[in-house]
């Protein structure tokens, strides 16, 4: 496997939180200290009023949500974050951090343990709540005194939802995008199949592959896991429209191709690129965190003035379908949150639509974040 973790941008910053005398106590009861958090900032904080938006990334995302300039690497949410975008960095200050258990700058299975070797399979189970705890501590470290908004899609939306339910006073508004309060059996099954593929790969070595010099790790199993997951990110209509039954032979003899169809080439490409940037143990931990999340399984007392909540969903989304969104909005409304729901029926892209240029959806997010009391900031040359 490639050298992981690797910064995706020269703008990556790190903070070391939770000293040994005040370690991070995970919901499992395990503890971690010297937690390293990789994060990036976009735009500038306004000293006159809260203008910080915390962006929570999805399962395989990173802190690099967008370019910092024309010579920077593309980010994963270019359509959403940046000057003149819905999360307008001419007006808003954005913080995005890699999640606990990830592999792009924040403590996870690739982090060294007491022996100096990677924690690997010994890295403890983490939850969505643990991720939020680390986010909040990072903001305290950065001197934040309050958030304008918390925004997240997919697993990031689960983080935003958990933040809303446990700490509603932290932000004025919460935007929950292409997400739900829990995964359906369909989604649980896809994750289970992906994890089984990783564990069945001989290169997995019971999660100790990082200790084997020169060994590639479970690249085949991780690639298959990505292929399975990707089918939940696209809709049946989008697959049919893009690929149908069109044939496309492999581009090179060494390409790992096993059939003649264009859709196979696409999935194989997704697998090859994914294993160069992601860690199998991180994938196991983060999918398990998604699977275990059930936002309303425990009592949720709401005190104080409730913040505004905006839910954004897509009719073509298979991962979080209409029933999942209805469960989410019904439970939030019952708790008394002021709630609006924008459901997009224009895009056939499926779950991935939240990352793409879908004009009505992007306009709705921009409207949700519009604030007349936040003048545009003048960017420095």
Same domain membership, residue 117 and residue 137: yes
Q: Is a pLDDT exceeding 80 seen at residue 302?
A: no
The reply to whether 253 falls in a domain is yes
List the one residue out of 56, 79, 105 whose CA is nearest residue 289.
Answer: 56
Average pLDDT of the chain to the nearest whole number: 92
The reply to whether 4 falls in a domain is no
pLDDT at 216: 87
**114 compared with 82, residue with greater pLDDT:** 82
The reply to whether 222 falls in a domain is yes
CA–CA separation, 347 and 370 (whole Å)? 24
The CATH number of the domain holding residue 242 is: 1.10.1740.110
Q: Which of 29-38, 80-89, 126-135, 205-214 has the lowest mean pLDDT?
A: 205-214
pLDDT at 114: 82
Number of domains the chain contains: 2
**Which whole number is the average pLDDT over 353-364?**
98
CA–CA separation, 234 and 319 (whole Å)? 9
Q: What percent of the chain has pLDDT over 70?
A: 93
CA–CA separation, 380 and 302 (whole Å)? 41
Residues 4-25 have pLDDT tens digits of: 555 567 899 999 999 999 999 9
pLDDT at 116: 86
Long-range pairs for 237-245: beta carbons < 8 A, 24 or more residues apart: 237/316, 237/348, 238/316, 238/348, 238/349, 238/350, 239/263, 241/348, 242/266
Q: 105's torsion region: left (phi>0), alpha (psi -120 to 50) or beta?
A: left
Q: Which of 9, 63, 154, 235 is catalytic?
A: 154
pLDDT at 102: 96
- Boundary residue ending a domain (245, 261, 288): 288
- Boundary residue ending a domain (265, 288, 311): 288
**Which whole number is the average pLDDT over 307-326?**
97
Same domain membership, residue 319 and residue 308: yes
Q: How confident is the model at residue 33 (pLDDT cuts 50, 70, 90)?
A: very high
Same domain membership, residue 144 and residue 25: yes
Q: Is 346 a catalytic residue?
A: no
The reply to whether 2 falls in a domain is no
Same domain membership, residue 336 and residue 195: no
pLDDT at 226: 98
Q: Is a pLDDT exceeding 50 seen at residue 372?
A: no
Q: Which of 317, 324, 344, 352 is catalytic?
A: 317
Q: What percent of the chain has pLDDT over 90?
A: 83
Residues 240-262 have pLDDT tens digits of: 999 999 998 766 655 555 778 99
Same domain membership, residue 165 and residue 230: no
Q: How confident is the model at residue 380 (pLDDT cuts 50, 70, 90)?
A: very low
Same domain membership, residue 219 and residue 151: no
Same domain membership, residue 216 and residue 251: yes
The reply to whether 375 falls in a domain is no
Same domain membership, residue 273 and residue 192: yes
pLDDT at 35: 97
pLDDT at 252: 60
- Boundary residue ending a domain (288, 307, 330): 288
Q: Which of 127-136, 193-202, 258-267, 348-357 has the lowest mean pLDDT?
A: 258-267
Residues 157-215 have pLDDT tens digits of: 999 999 999 999 999 999 999 999 999 999 999 999 999 999 999 999 999 998 888 78
CA dihedral (301, 174, 167, 47) positive or negative? negative
The reply to whether 25 falls in a domain is yes
Q: Is a pLDDT exceeding 50 seen at residue 378?
A: no
Domain that holds residue 274: 187-288
The reply to whether 379 falls in a domain is no
Same domain membership, residue 220 and residue 161: no
Same domain membership, residue 213 and residue 134: no
Same domain membership, residue 305 and residue 212: no
The CATH number of the domain holding residue 362 is: 3.40.50.1820
Count the helices and strands in the chain (H runs, E runs).
9, 12
Same domain membership, residue 310 and residue 268: no
For residue 340, the surrounding DSSP H or E stretch is strand 339-344
Q: Is 317 a catalytic residue?
A: yes
For residue 227, the surrounding DSSP H or E stretch is helix 219-233
The reply to whether 293 falls in a domain is no
Q: Is 333 a catalytic residue?
A: no
CA–CA separation, 32 and 323 (whole Å)? 37
Q: How confident is the model at residue 299 (pLDDT cuts 50, 70, 90)?
A: confident
Q: Which of 57, 64, 191, 351 is catalytic?
A: 351
pLDDT at 301: 76
Pairing of strands 308-314, 87-88: unpaired
């Amino acid at each position: 496997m490639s050298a992981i973790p690797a910064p995706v941008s020269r703008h990556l910053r790190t903070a070391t939180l939770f000293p040994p005398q005040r370690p991070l106590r995970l919901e499992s009861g395990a503890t971690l200290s010297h937690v390293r958090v990789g994060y990036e900032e976009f735009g500038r904080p306004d000293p006159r009023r809260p203008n910080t938006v915390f962006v929570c990334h999805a399962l395989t995302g990173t802190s690099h949500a967008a370019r910092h300039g024309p010579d920077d690497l593309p980010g994963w949410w270019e359509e959403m974050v940046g000057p003149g975008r819905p999360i307008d960095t001419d007006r808003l200050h954005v913080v995005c951090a890699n999640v606990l258990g990830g592999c792009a700058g924040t403590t996870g299975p690739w982090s060294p343990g007491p022996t100096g070797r990677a924690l690997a399979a010994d890295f403890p189970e983490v939850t969505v709540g643990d991720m939020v705890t680390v986010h909040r501590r990072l903001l305290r470290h950065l001197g934040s005194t309050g958030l304008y908004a918390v925004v997240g899609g997919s697993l990031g939306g689960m983080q935003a939802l958990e933040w809303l339910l446990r700490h509603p006073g932290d932000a004025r508004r919460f935007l929950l995008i292409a997400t739900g309060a829990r995964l359906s059996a369909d989604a649980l099954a896809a994750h289970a199949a992906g994890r089984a593929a990783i564990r069945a790969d001989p290169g997995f070595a019971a999660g100790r592959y990082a200790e084997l010099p020169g060994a590639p790790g479970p690249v085949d199993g991780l690639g298959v896991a990505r292929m399975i997951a990707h089918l939940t990110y696209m809709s049946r209509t989008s697959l049919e429209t893009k690929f149908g039954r069109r044939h496309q032979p492999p581009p090179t003899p060494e390409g790992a191709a096993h059939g003649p169809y264009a859709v196979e080439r696409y999935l194989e490409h997704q697998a090859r690129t994914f294993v160069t940037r992601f860690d199998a143990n991180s994938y196991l931990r983060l999918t398990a965190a998604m699977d275990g999340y059930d936002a309303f399984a425990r009592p949720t007392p709401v005190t104080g003035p409730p913040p505004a909540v905006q839910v954004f969903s897509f009719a073509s989304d298979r991962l979080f379908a209409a029933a999942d969104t209805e469960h989410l909005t019904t439970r939030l409304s019952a708790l008394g949150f002021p709630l609006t729901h924008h459901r997009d029926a224009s895009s056939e892209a499926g779950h991935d639509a939240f990352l793409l240029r879908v004009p009505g959806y992007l306009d709705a997010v921009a409207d949700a974040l519009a604030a007349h009391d936040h003048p545009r900031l003048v960017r420095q040359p």
